Structures are given as structure tokens and as C-alpha cells.
Amino acid sequence: MARLFSPRPPPSEDLFYETYYSLSQQYPLLLLLLVIVLVGLLALLAVAWASGRELASDPGFLTTMLCGLGGFSLLLSLASREQRLQRWTRPLSGLVWAALLALGLGFLFTGGVVSAWDQVSFFLFVIFTVYAMLPLGMRDAAAAGLASSLSHLLVLGLYLGLQPDSQPALLPQLAANAVLFLCGNVAGAYHKALMERALRATFREALSSLHSRRRLDTEKKHQEHLLLSILPAYLAREMKAEIMARLQAGQGSRPESTNNFHSLYVKRHQGVSVLYADIVGFTRLASECSPKELVLMLNELFGKFDQIAKEHECMRIKILGDCYYCVSGLPLSLPDHAINCVRMGLDMCRAIRKLRAATGVDINMRVGVHSGSVLCGVIGLQKWQYDVWSHDVTLANHMEASGVPGRVHITGATLALLAGAYAVEDAAMEHGDPYLRELGEPTYLVIDPRAEEEDEKGTAGRLLSSLEGPKMRPSLLMTRYLESWGAAKPFAHLSHVESPVSTSTPLPEKALSSFSPQWSLDRSRTPRGLDDELDTGDAKFFQVIEQLNSQKQWKQSEDFNPWTLYFREKEMEKEYRLSALPAFKYYAACTFLVFFSNFIIQMLVTNRPPALTITYSITFLLFFLLLFVCFSEHLTKCVLKGPKMLHWLPTLSVLVATRPGLRVALGTATILLVFSMAITSLVFLPAASNCPFRAPNVSFTASNLSWELPGSLPLISVPYSVHCCVLGFLSCSLFLHMSFELKLLLLLLWLAACCSLFLHSHAWLSDCLIARLYLGALDSRPGVLKEPKLMGAISFFIFFFTLLVLARQNEYYCRLDFLWKKKLRQEQEETETMENLTRLLLENVLPAHVAPQFIGQNRRNEDLYHQSYECVCVLFASVPDFKEFYSESSINHEGLECLRLLNEIIADFDELLSKPKFSGVEKIKTICSTYMAATGLNATSGQDAQQDAEQSCSHLGTMVEFAVALGSKLDVINKHSFNNFRLRVGLNHGPVVAGVIGAQKPQYDIWGNTVNVASRMESTGVLGKIQVTEETACALQSLGYTCYSRGIIKVKGKGQLCTYFLNTDLTRTGPPSGTLG
């Protein structure tokens, strides 16, 4: 018993479970145990007084009672102080047990003659409650239970062994006592083990639910960050709802709509300003960069621009290569949108001037701004990017293209909104841009008021270029300088979002440390501010654990009725009652142990009459049949080797476990069998009889009188019948999952039967035994606890109320366990849905092979993602006719209906990506009516270089087939919309650099000469044709495609190029031909 007072180990999950969770369950039981003992002692005094006994004539009994009342009242007052109880759990439990043991030993030697059956029921109560109601571990409870058993056996054995007249009957009685105590220990340990298992399972499910909630919260935060990194908040909510609908309907499917159109998330906004900015000279610089330098340079540049945009209330829309454009006045209208864009443009030019001055790299910034109205939103199904469309957007783009490097080029509409905030000068140039020339409106260049001040300080900024310029490449020099800007990395904000909690993490670290014994047991010693250190997760942890407190069962709850404990939801109540119970077979097995103990006891204390033997033989047969049915699944291997007609036997145990009605019937029948066999020995006696020991001529000297009654029943079997009835009460508690109302009914039935039997119909047996014990002392009366019928009645009531309390507790925790499991399943399903949603969102921003780099347990966003590829095929496919088709009028809702048609085109193109044969095609972006995609991006870096040219570029065929499929899709749309749109496609293949840039709105993109040439192949192409370079034509020919020469054409930035058209009328012809044309 030294472990009761041993020091506590360091904090761990087990310690937390024992000190808080287990205590929160056992605390009310301990209080109830003390209350039951006190009420029992008061009831003893009341019965003694009501029966006319003079308490003063038995000072030993009175002293024991008063000491018991005082001691247990003191223990109750100590236990009522929860903080003190938390600190002294083991010592207090030890004191309660010691007090019960002392009380039982005191009762043994007070009130009359000491007998072997004295206080067996009380010691059985002590043994069972040590397991079921004291906050002790299994080892401590077993030690206390065995010590209680041995103390009773040893004390009575030594005391009664010295008395010759009791010796003949002493050994059978002590053996019967040992069987009773052994059964009590086993039943108590069984009850405790099952409850501990259920409580710990509920505890772990609560923790799992907490982890699941944290994961759910994390996934929600991830989704919010991801969505808001792609879309404005108002649009994110609408699109999230559609994605959830798609996930619920089946991943990838689209919710049914009342029309044949895809959902369109586009709105019109008036009073906005659009800024386009292009880095002049960046293409030449990028050609000198390594992949890492290029991605870092772009991220730092555009990260700086994002910071400037945030400062001036502008929203970046998209990055197109080295072109950056944004809008002010979205999604909320701003009165100063024009000033915001002009300020941003000036700051961008200023940042590039500083960069040029510091590094000596010849780059500049060209900015164009126009104010008007836009259509803004998202089109397509994949790779969402918030975009804007309108004639005003087109004009802003042309303002940038025709602008002056280092200056902000604005229209008259923007100038009117500046209201004199900035001085301007007439652009005074002959527009080479046909679009602006056709408009014929004047344009202006904004004068930067701080430009002169910066020129005076310019020499100081050239320190880096003068010191390191001659030693370093311009690209590396620029990269070094840009790193000092410290732009955030893509998805860096996700690092600060709490990562999903692993289920392997048993408890929050702070929660454990904060619940150390010193803090939890003595709040006065809490370090100042410790409570404040608990983060939100730990606070939720304590909230969840608090919900497990058994005292909650008596309070109002959203889930339970506090009186009946029924679930408030009828469906949940039905599901609970119909749930399977695999442990039922163990309930039946332990009940058989109680039945077997009763059998052994009656065989020891009776003369084993034939009728009793026959009755037990039949009952044993019924029990063996029940156990065979319950455990038949364990005989599967044996049965399957036998005849087929017996193969159905193993299914019996499954039926019992899964059929609630069958379980209730078998459980009730089993308990009733134990009840009936507990009193079988009394059934064979008459209801009334003349006791031979009450005859007036019987002298106390007649020591040779028999202990037997007529009918060959020893008198000592009477108190042991009482003890067998007590075991019958215990059999009810063994069915943990039996409903409380059924247990209450059975316990009431058994209480009424036992009381009527021992207090009424067979009360004379108790009186006869007392007459035999007190021969010759007719005027003396034994104490209350020495009279079997009164002792039995008090024991019955004490066990009835004790087991009723435990039944209520068991019912609550069985239901709580079911509730937490159900909640955990629901939260896990919701978490899985959220994870799928996060994955879909991320894959809508990044390719599937790139997304794992930025999210999940293996998130790696410390470095910028970049990857170089040797052979990537890039496609640009545009619908040039859409520019002419697009118009803004009241008929088409200022262009909205035109965009609806463009949304159908892009969405149909996106649907092709879900086909297995196009799984290698990666959509990059859409630029107005131009669709950009690539193949070969899912290959491992360096893998292509190790393969031969034919194998490494085999994906070019996939891209050609995709281009043809795009044309077919457009033909279908033309047929339904009565249009004549035609596709213009440009293809090129070669090395590219892929990466993710931009912290505010991370964007996956590819760069390189291959991309630029592919874009030129489209812009210089012919409607209905696929134009390719000579190198790509050779590669396609090797794959079995036919190309014919277009001739030499002039390509902007590339000079004269010989290009080819792909013969799309033919499929692969097998072996390649010898020529291209």
C-alpha cells in the first residue's frame, strides 16, 4: 500500500488522465460513497432505536457508530474541498478505505456473539467500492481488496478457531467467505477494468476530437488564406460554396444548374483606375540569370510592387511575364483611385531608379494608367486568377505599351480625377500604337515631384555597383541588391498558420506543463501570467476535458436530457440503442462467475439435497448454452472443418452482438437465472415452521443440539443465502451497457423479492438462528448487525443505492463515449472535406506536383520554388475574333454577356484537362481570350537530359492533340452560339524555368525564350492554323506528324524566323516522312 503515498511522476498523458480526468469522474462517486456510508450508519441507529433496543446497553456498538459518524463526516468535509482532494488523492482514498475497514472490524466484535458469517456483506461492500468508487489505480484497488478479504478471514479464523463449539462449521464457512470475497474482487476488478477502458477510450476520443478540431481550424485558415491569395473576399465566399457543393456531389463534378451555362463570377465596377507596368530591358537580363536567380529576382521585384500596391490601396490583378498590372477601387469603391494608381506608378519608377543607380543594371519601368469601368471576376474552371476586362482595361494596356521608360503615362480621364494633385506635361508624341492613334485623344506624362531630389542623391546610391560591379554579372549583382528588399515568399503566411496536429501527439505541451501538480493542485503557487501563456489550443483543450466531467450529467446539455440521459435527437437515440455490442459475451462470462460462486457457496454450507443438485444441473446446462452462443465465433475454425450443416453456428455470436432485442432478452434472462439460483436453497423449505430452539425446556447446556432444521438445511445457510442475494445485486452491475431503466427495474424487483423473503415469508429462519446462537439467554437480544434478516435488509438497500449510482454513471459514460465517437467521425469527415477543398484550391493555383511543396506536413517554403526543364512544350491558343465580338452596351449588360460566352469557351477548354490522355497538360493562365498551357512540367529535373530526344519530347504529341481538341471544342461552341470563332495556335518547345512568385497572390509561371517564341508563334499566326518553329516541326515530324513550311516571317524581338504550319487534317501517319512539307 506504499504506492498510495508515493510521490507523483513527472507530467505525462497518464498523469494528466489520473489527476484530472479520472479524478473528475471518481470525485462525485467518492462523495456519494461517503454519503451512502453516513446514511447507512444513521439508518442503523434508526433501526436499532425503532426495534426497541437499548443503545446504552451496548456501549461498544454505540462507540463504533459515533466514531464512524464522526470520522466519515470529517472525511466528507475534506473531500468536499476539491482542491485539497486533488492534492491528496491517494492519501484520502487510503483513509476512506482504512476507515471502512476499521468500521467493519468494529462491527465484528460489537452487538453480540461473533460468527463466521458476520459482516461478510459489509466487507463485500468495502471490496467492491474500493474498485468501483475510490479514485485508485487497478494495482492499488486490488491490494486494498485483497487486504480487506484477508483481514476478515484471518481475524475470524484466529478468533473463532479457539472456540471448540464452532470449529466443526468454521472451515466450510471460511471457505464460503473466501469464495464470496474472491467473487467480489473479480467482479470489482472486472467492473473497474471495463470502466477504465471505456473512460480512457472516451478520454482519447476527446483528445482526438480536439486534434481533429485543430486540424479543421487549420484547414479552414489555410482555405481562407489560399482563397484570399487568389480572390477578393466577396468572390471567395461564392466560389467556396460551389466547391463544397462539388465535393459533396462528387469530386470533379459540377452541381446541376437550371441552365446549360457554367457559373459566372463576374461583376461590373465603375469608378476604378487600371495600372499597367512593364520592366524595360528585363528580357535581356533574364537570359543571363540562372533559374534560382530569375525566380528570386521576379519574386523580389513583384513582392516590392505588391508592398507598394498595399500602401496605395491597389489590388494586383496578374503578372504576365515581366508585366505587372493592378487596379484601385476594387472590390470597394475608393474616391482617390486615380491618385492611388499614379502614386503607385511613381513609386514603382522610383524603386527601379534606385535599383538601377545601385547596381548599374540598365533596366527601367514603363507605366500606363487609365480610369473608367471594368468587369472583374474569374472565368474558367481551373487555375483561377482574378482578372479585369473592358475597353478601359485595353486602353490602359496600350497606355503602358506606348509610354516612356521611367514615366507614368495617363489619359485625360485619369488627369481629370487627379484634380491638380500632380503636375503633368503633354506626351507630345506621335503614337506608334494604332489603337491610341485611332482614339485620337491627348495623353499626358506625370511629373514626379521627387525626381530632382533623387538625382542629387544618385551618386551615393552607386556604391554597390562601383564596388562589386566589375566583379559580378549584372544579374547576380541585381539579385544581391534585391535580396535586401526582403520581399515575402509565396505562401509564407501559411507557415504562421497553426499546422495540423498530429494524432500521435497525445496532449498539448503547454496543457501538460500548465497542469503540473503544483499548479493544478495549489493555485496560490501559480507563476504570475501562467494562465495568460495558454494559447487558444490549450484553452480549447481544457474546455473539451471539462465537458467530460461526470457532474455535467445533472446539468442542462444540448445533447442529453439531464433526467433520462436520452439523446435529444431521436435519430441519435435510435442509433445508440441499435449499436453493436461485441463485449456482451464478456458480460455473460462474468455473470457466470457470480453464478458459479453462488453454487460453490451453497455446496459448502448446505447438505446438497438432490432437488438442489438437479436444479443446478439444469441451470448449468442453460448457462453453457448461453456461453456457447456468445463465444461461437471463436469456434469458427473447428466448425468449418465439420459438416456444412453446422457452418451457421459462428454467426450466433454476431447476432447476439448486433441485435439489441436479443441482447436485452439474453441479458435479462441471465440475471434472472442468477437471482433465482441465489435463493433456491430456501425454496425447498416451508414458508413457516416451528423452531426447535425456541422450546422452553431447551437448556443452554444441551450443546449437542444439531444446527440443522427439519428438511436437512443447516441454519448457517441462512446468512449465506443473504450473501448470495448480495452477489445477485452485483450481477446487475456487470452488464455495463444495459440501459439504466432496465437495471433499475431489475434491481427494484430483486430488492422487493429479497426483502419480502427475509423480512416476511422466511423471517423465522433468521429468528431460529438467533435462538440457536443465544440458547438459554431468552432475555438477551443481539445487535442489529448480528440479526441476519435486519443485516440482510440493510445490505440490500445499501447495495441497491450504490449500484443505482454506478448504473447511472455507467449509462452516462456509455452514452458520452458514443457521442464523442460520433462527433469524432463527423469532424474527421468534415476535416477530410476541408483537406480536399484545400488541395483543390492549391491545385487551382499550382500544378499538382508543385502543391505539396507549400502545404501539409512536409511543407518546404523556406526557399523559393524554382525548377528548370530541358524540354517543355508551350502552347498559346487565342480567339482573336473575340476582340471584335466584345462590345459594351446596355443590351449585353455592358459586356457581361460577352464575358459569359468567353467563360463558356475557357471552361470547356478546362474540361479537357480532366481527360486522362491530357493529364500531362498543365494550364498556366489565361490572358483575355488567350489560353496558355504547357506539357513536360511534371518531369523530374534533369530527367529529360538523360533521355534521348525522341523519348524526352514525346509529350509534344499530347500538346498537338490538345490543340486539336481545343479547336473541336470551339467548333461545338460556335454551333450552339451561332458564331464563327476560329482558333489561332502557336507552339514551341525547349528549355524553360518554372517557379512560384508573389507573396500577396502567389502565381505559378514559366519563363524563358521558349515561352516568348511560343507567344510570338501565336500572335503572328493564322486563324485555324497551328504555327510552330522549325525545331518544333522537326520534333513533331519524328513523332509522325506532318508539317509544311510557311516561309520566313518577321518576329518581334527575334528577327526573321522560318516557321511551319502543322497539318491538323491528318493524324499520326506512323513512320515519319523524309521532309517537313
**Residues assigned a catalytic role:** 1016, 1052
| Alpha helix positions (H), 774-895 | 788-843, 881-885
Q: What is the pLDDT of residues 439-481, one digit of tens each?
A: 888 899 999 888 766 554 554 444 444 444 455 566 666 666 6
The rounded distance, in Å, linking the Cα atoms of 788 and 770 is 8
Interatomic CA distance for residues 924 and 874, integer angstroms: 9
Whether the CA torsion 969, 975, 981, 982 is positive or negative: it is: positive
pLDDT at position 1 is 39
Cell numbers that stand for 169 in this block: 462449521
Rg of the chain in Å (alpha carbons): 45
Q: Which of 8-12, 709-713, 815-819, 940-944: highest mean pLDDT? A: 815-819
Which of 169, 46, 122, 51 lies closest to 767, judged by CA?
51
pLDDT band at 750 (very low <50, low <70, confident <90, very high): very high
Amino acid, single-letter form, for residue 219 = E
188-202, 780-794, 1054-1068, range with the lowest pLDDT: 1054-1068
Instruction: Say which residue, 503 or 780, is predicted with more confidence.
Output: 780
For 231-295, give the secondary structure using H, E and C.
CCHHHHHHHHHHHHHHHHHCCCCCCCCCCCCCCCEEEEEEEEEEEEEEEECHHHHHCCCCHHHHH
What pLDDT score does 522 carry?
38
Residue 70, pLDDT score: 93
pLDDT confidence tier of residue 751, bands split at 50, 70 and 90: very high
N- to C-terminal Cα separation, the chain: 98
Q: Which three cell numbers stand for residue 345?
A: 506608378
1015-to-539, 1011, 1028, 1055 alpha-carbon distances in Å: 56, 6, 11, 14
Q: Assess contact for 374 and 269: CB atoms under 8 A.
A: yes
Say what the pTM is.
Answer: 0.64
Name 1029's bridge partners: 1059
| 879-883: average pLDDT | 90
pLDDT score for 13:
52
State whether the Cα torsion 739-741-746-747 is positive or negative.
Answer: positive
Burial class of residue 397 in the structure, from the number of CB atoms within 10 Å of its CB (0-12 exposed, 13-18 middle, 19+ buried): buried
Rounded CA-CA distance 1077/1073 in Å is 9
Q: Which of 214-223, 421-430, 816-825 has the lowest mean pLDDT?
A: 214-223
Phi-psi label, residue 352: left if phi above 0, alpha if psi -120 to 50, beta otherwise: alpha
Q: Residues 160, 117: contact at Cβ < 8 Å?
A: no
Nearest Cα neighbor of 406 from 279, 529, 300, 297 is 279
Of 697, 680, 845, 862, nearest in space to 757 by CA: 680
pLDDT of residue 501: 40
> HSE on the CB side for 767, CA within 13 Å?
13
Each residue of 57-75: pLDDT tens digit? Answer: 778 888 999 999 999 999 8
Span 251-261, pLDDT tens digits: 444 444 445 67
Of 439-448, 699-708, 956-965, where does mean pLDDT reach its minimum?
Answer: 699-708
In percent, how much of the chain has pLDDT > 90?
Answer: 28
The confidence score (pLDDT) of residue 621 equals 94
Per-residue pLDDT at 502 exceeds 60: no
Q: Is the pLDDT of residue 827 over 70?
A: yes
* Cα–Cα distance measured from residue 548 to residue 450, given in angstroms and rounded to the nearest whole number: 67
Residue 1073's pLDDT is 41
Residue of 95 and 111 predicted with greater confidence: 95
556 or 115, greater pLDDT = 115
- Mean pLDDT value across residues 422-430: 80
Average pLDDT over residues 40-55: 85
Chain centroid offset of residue 357 CA: 54
Q: Nine-digit cell at 99?
A: 476507515
Check: CB of residue 984 under 8 Å from CB of residue 1022: yes
Cβ contacts of 561 within 8 Å, gap of 6 or more: 567, 568
Q: What's the CA gap between 279 and 180, in Å, rounded?
A: 93
Does residue 123 have a pLDDT over 90? yes
Instruction: Assign 200 a pLDDT band (cuts: 50, 70, 90).
Output: confident
The pLDDT of residue 103: 93
pLDDT in tens, 911-956: 999 898 898 899 998 888 899 999 988 765 444 444 444 456 788 9
User: Is 844 a residue whose pLDDT tops 80?
Assistant: no
- Please state the rounded mean pLDDT for residues 692-698: 54
Range from 153-167, 203-217, 373-387, 536-550 carrying the lowest mean pLDDT: 536-550
Helix boundaries (H) for 88-137: 89-108, 120-132
- pLDDT above 80 (res 498): no
Q: What percent of the chain has pLDDT over 70?
A: 76
Average pLDDT (2-25) is: 49
Q: What is the mean pLDDT of the chain?
A: 78
pLDDT at 143: 94
Q: Is the pLDDT of residue 1069 over 50?
A: no
In single-letter form, the type of residue at position 524 comes to: S
